[in-house]
Amino acid sequence: MKNILFLTDLDGTLLGSDKKISMTSLDILNALIDKGLKLGISTARTPATLEGILDGLKLNLPICCMNGAAYYDMKKEEYIKYFTLDCDIIYEIIKIGKNKGISPFIHCILNNFLTVCFENINSEPARIFYEERKNLRLKREVNAPYSKELGEVVYFTFLGKERGIKAIVEEIKEKGLAGRLNLNCYEDIYNKDYYFLELCNKAASKSTGLNYLKELSGAESVYAFGDNSNDMPMLMAADKSYAVENGVDEVKRYCDRVIGTNDSDSVAFEIEKIALNL
């Protein structure tokens, strides 16, 4: 097996529509890992929601989470690296969100633990997003304004209608803040007509994550799999890129190859086909 790192997104890519890794994919990937396959995960999710999803997958590398804002060792349960945001930009982003009527989920790290604070739940999809992520072992939620006592801010998540989200993006650009941020704006694959806006330090991205995991793994090349626009930095930095059939057009047009859907174990089958024929 050649020295390749296979790097995959989760939601819409490796995960099925039920937000789980199927037993078929799990068996295929674990069998390959036992033979020396290098597998990495790059996701917008936090470690807290990954704990149940990745149970049973024999990963040997840290997770690139929050779109590259942090790297987490699931075995040691620790953040091994993360990128923070400066105070001035934190409060400006909060103010912009309030002006547009969308309250962000603000992700803070203190003493190796994640706290997510928020002031309001502004929509039903945002409520579902919160309900699915509350009361998890590896983080806590605080329904309160951000304060420095909560820790260093690494990540913002906004979820709202397209018009409101894009208005936030425009104001961020108008105020000259975009050059200091990595902005990921894309449609929520689980809620039609709603969009995510995810913000972190400019130095953090899925491209940065690819290079970091490549170095850690000692791989000579990286084959990456994705479905949405936030995967583009990773796909563009990869030696070979693969889009799932259910992915957005931008991703499918760019990638070297379009494979099956996320509900047909296509990522696991494609990795198996590549790995066994190298």
Q: Which tens digit of pLDDT belongs to each residue from 26-72?
A: 999 999 999 999 999 999 999 999 999 999 999 999 999 999 999 99
Averaged pLDDT score across all residues of the chain: 96
191/57 same-domain check: no
Count of domains forming the chain: 2
pLDDT (tens digit, 9 = 90+) per residue, 112-136?
A: 999 999 999 989 999 999 998 999 9
The verdict on 230 and 167 lying in the same domain is no
Domain termination site, one of 159, 176, 201: 201
The whole-number pLDDT of residue 122 equals 86
With 0-12 CB in 10 A as exposed, 13-18 as middle and 19+ as buried, what is 126? Answer: buried
Would you place residue 1 in the very low, low, confident or very high pLDDT band (cuts 50, 70, 90)?
low
The one-letter code for the residue type at 213 is L
Task: Round to whole Å and give the CA distance between 77 and 154.
Answer: 18
pLDDT at 261 over 70: yes
**Parent domain of 138:** 87-201
* pLDDT score of 40: 98
* Residues in CB range of 73: below 8 A, 6 or more apart: 62, 79, 80
Task: Give pLDDT tens digits for 74-113.
Answer: 999 999 999 999 999 999 999 999 999 999 999 999 999 9
Query: Which of 177, 201, 225 is at the close of a domain?
Result: 201
Maximum Cα–Cα distance across the chain: 55
In the prediction, which pLDDT does 278 show? 73
CATH code of the domain covering residue 234: 3.40.50.1000
CATH assignment of the domain containing 152: 3.30.1240.10
User: In terms of domains, do 194 and 97 share one?
Assistant: yes
| Residue at a domain's end among 178, 201, 224 | 201
Taking a C-beta distance cutoff of 8 angstroms, is the pair 240, 197 a contact?
no
- Whether residue 209 sits in one domain with residue 197: no
Please tell me the distance from the alpha carbon of residue 117 to that of residue 224, in angstroms, as a whole number. Answer: 32
pTM of the model: 0.92
User: Are 73 and 106 in a shared domain?
Assistant: no
To 10 degrees, what angle do helices 266-277 and 23-34 make? 20
Is the domain of 232 the same as that of 266?
A: yes
Shared domain check, 72 and 94 = no
